[in-house]
Structure 1
Amino acid sequence: MSGAEHELSVTCLIEAPREICWKVWTDLKDEWFCPKPWRAEVIEEDMRPGGRSAVQMFGPNGEETGPMEGIFLEVVPGARVVTTDAYAAGWIPQSPFMTAIWDFAAEGDGTRFTATARHWDAEAMARHEEMGFHPGWDEMMAQFKALCETSAASA
């Protein structure tokens, strides 16, 4: 499903099966989740609806973000993950910025991976664009693709 009014998205075809892409997404997030030289650290990922999602990013000069705190809304193993920062764990409301949707679809011998950010309004979407959605998510996507393809080649 697409076409949300305030949506930003990136997609690529990965030359690796969905199972490998899913494993990289779930197990190796520290290695691809933010553009280098920044690094991501997973604090918690309780991958069930209502479960906590918390990731912190660290810059090369000591910068820190977050943690980016939210919850999982939907988890379909091997196919889709949906998270939102509108709530913290325990359904505690917080100021919403976006809902993230991560889709994995078989395409030929590979996987079509699509990462989507849906925002509550045009202002939040514009702010995300200004923060560097592109090229940030483009670089994240390239890192994810490379890691999946390297993992597939060594499997």
Structure 2
Amino acid sequence: MSSAEHELSVTCHIAAPREICWKVWVDLKEEWFCPKPWRAEVIEQDLRPGGRSAVQMFGPNGEETGPMEGVFLEVVPNELAVTTDAYASGWIPQTAFITGLWRFEDEGEGTRFTATARHWDAEAKARHEEMGFHPGWDQMMEQFKALCETSAASA
């Protein structure tokens, strides 16, 4: 099985340097992480392997998710963040859904940003597609791109 077999991914070119994109990813997550009119609230973001990653989403009609609870597996500032919900903080196993890979690569005068959800099996991938991976992550990507480019223009 290739790693791509159970992946869903979105990517775009952003007219901003990686350092700005990384700063937006870290500092402005509540502004881009979920499709509007939903909003995200970062509960904790401990950017180190084993550090807690917890975000809750709130819908316009009082809906709530989660929180989406997990840990960081790898963090390379300005390049890569890898999260998983297979563990809660303290390496406590929990029912896994995805491993998220967030990549930042130089491309021309800007950055190639790629967000990937790796699923454990075909059923989990299909469930994520049915939940609205597209257009949800597409809209998230557009919100992220706009914030990065606005931040770059004002830097």
The match for 2:141 is: 141
Structure 1 residues 48-104: Cα deviation after superposition (integer angstroms, max 9, x where no partner): 000000000000011100000000000000000000000000000000000000000
The match for 2:7 is: 7
The match for 1:114 is: 114
TM-score (norm 1): 0.98
Structure 1 residues 124-153: Cα deviation after superposition (integer angstroms, max 9, x where no partner): 000000000000000000000000000000
Measure, in 2, the Cα distance between the counterparts of 1:108 and 1:12.
Answer: 13
Residue 121 of structure 1: how far off its partner (Å) = 0.2
What is the RMSD of the two structures over their aligned residues, measured on CA atoms? Answer: 0.8
SS state at 2:65 partner: strand
Residue 5 of structure 1: how far off its partner (Å) = 1.5
2:34 corresponds to 1:34: yes
The match for 1:81 is: 81
The match for 1:54 is: 54
2:102 corresponds to 1:102: yes
SS state at 1:127 partner: helix
Whether contact under 8 Å (2:3, 2:118) holds in the other structure is: no
Deviates more, 1:36-45 or 1:2-11: 2-11
Measure, in 1, the Cα distance between the counterparts of 2:101 and 2:48.
Answer: 14
Q: What residue identity is the alignment partner of 1:37? A: P
The match for 1:124 is: 124
Unaligned 5+ runs, structure 2: none
Residue 3 of structure 1: how far off its partner (Å) = 4.6
The match for 2:19 is: 19
Measure, in 2, the Cα distance between the counterparts of 1:31 and 1:38.
Answer: 10
Measure, in 2, the Cα distance between the counterparts of 1:71 and 1:35.
Answer: 22
Q: What residue identity is the alignment partner of 2:20? A: I
Measure, in 1, the Cα distance between the counterparts of 2:57 and 2:126.
Answer: 22
Q: What residue identity is the alignment partner of 2:19? A: E
Measure, in 2, the Cα distance between the counterparts of 1:65 and 1:3.
Answer: 27
Unaligned 5+ runs, structure 1: none
